[in-house]
A and B are shown apart, each in its own frame.
Chain A
Amino acid sequence: MKFGIMVSAGPYTHQASDTAYYFTEAALKNGHEIVRVFFYHDGVNNGTSLGVPPQDDRNITTRWSALAEKYDLDMVLCVAAAQRRGLLDENEAKRAGKDVSNMAAGFNISGLGQLIDAGIQADRLLVFGD
C-alpha cells in the first residue's frame, strides 16, 4: 500500500513524531511505499540539525535522517511553517539574511502543494499530531 505521512507535532513534547517514525519504519520494512513524509505546524522542528538531546535519549532528528538515507525517503518541511519557526536550509537562510542554516540531512523545504500531492498519490494519508 502507498502511504502519505503528515507530522504536525514537534519532537519530544508529544509522542506523535515518535509514532509517525515507528509507523513509517514498520511500513517500509514490510514492503509498503511511503509517498512522502510531510512536516507541518510544529512538526517542522523535527528537521532541525541544532537539537542536542541527552545521550541516553533518542535523537529524533538523526533517526529520521537515517531512515531517509536507508530508504531514499522523501521528507519535506512546509516552507511557510518552517520560515515562521526558524527552520532554514542554506538557500532560505541566505535569502533571509541569516548567518546560519539548520536543515538536518535528508530533510527538504518545499510548499504545501507537496502535502496535497501526497494525498492524491497515496492510498492512505495519515496525520500524526493535533
Chain B
Amino acid sequence: MAVIKKFLYVNRKAPHGSIFALESLEVVLIGAAFDQDVALAFIDDGVYQLMRNQDTSGIGTKNFSATYKALGDYDISKIYVEKESLDLRGLSKDNLMPLTWEDEDDDWAEKDSIQVVSSTELAEIIDNQDVIFSF
C-alpha cells in the first residue's frame, strides 16, 4: 500500500493510574509496521509519561517507561512536548528521559527526538495531520 498519511498520537494522561498510556504505546508500536509518517504529542498530564526514573514497584503495575526509548528504533523521531504543560507542572526538558533517533541521511548521527513546542506551535502541528488518535 503506497498511501502514506501523517499520524499523530496525542497523549494527555499520566503514565500510571490508568491504562491509556500503555495502550497508546501499543498502538504506536504496532502502527510503526505500517510505514506511515508518525509523530507523538504529549500534553497535560501526558508529559509525565516521559519522566526520567519512573518506578512502579509501589503500585504493582508494569513499568513500561523504558519502551519509549525504543521509539527511535522504530523510526519515530518526532516527539512533541507542550511547553505550557511542562511549565504548569514545574517541569523542564531536563526532567524527561532522553529520546534519540539515528538519521540515516546524516551518517546515522544520533539526534534528539524530543521537541518542546508552544501550544500555538502544537496547534499548527495538529492542524497538519491526516489521522489523530487521542489517548
Contact = CB atoms under 8 A, between A and B. Distances in A.
Nearest to A84: B19
Interface stretch (B28-36, B70-78, B100-108, B109-117): B28-36
Interface in A85-111: 111
Contacts of A115: 27, 31
A6 B5 CA distance: 18
Contact of B131 (A40, A112, A119): A119
Interface string B12-23: 010000011001
A119 B19 contact: no
B55 interface: no
Contacts of B132: 125, 127
Nearest to A112: B30
B36 A127 contact: no
Given A120-B3, A120-B5, A125-B131, A130 B20 contact: yes
A116 B23 contact: no
Contacts of A8: 135
Provide the main secondary structure of the chain B interface: mixed
Given A6-B133, A41-B19, A125-B131, A112 B26 contact: yes
A119 B28 CA distance: 13
B59 interface: no
A81 B34 CA distance: 20
A80 interface: yes
Interface of A: 6, 8, 40-41, 80-81, 111-113, 115-117, 119-120, 125, 127, 130
Given A113-B33, A116-B27, A130-B13, 7 more contacts: A40-B27, A41-B20, A80-B23, A116-B36, A119-B7, A120-B36, A130-B134
Interface of B: 1, 3, 5, 7, 13, 19-20, 23, 26-27, 30-31, 33-34, 36, 130-135
23 contacts: A40-B23, A41-B19, A41-B20, A41-B23, A80-B26, A111-B30, A112-B27, A115-B27, A116-B7, A116-B31, A116-B34, A116-B36, A119-B5, A120-B1, A120-B3, A120-B5, A120-B34, A125-B131, A125-B133, A127-B132, A130-B13, A130-B134, A130-B135
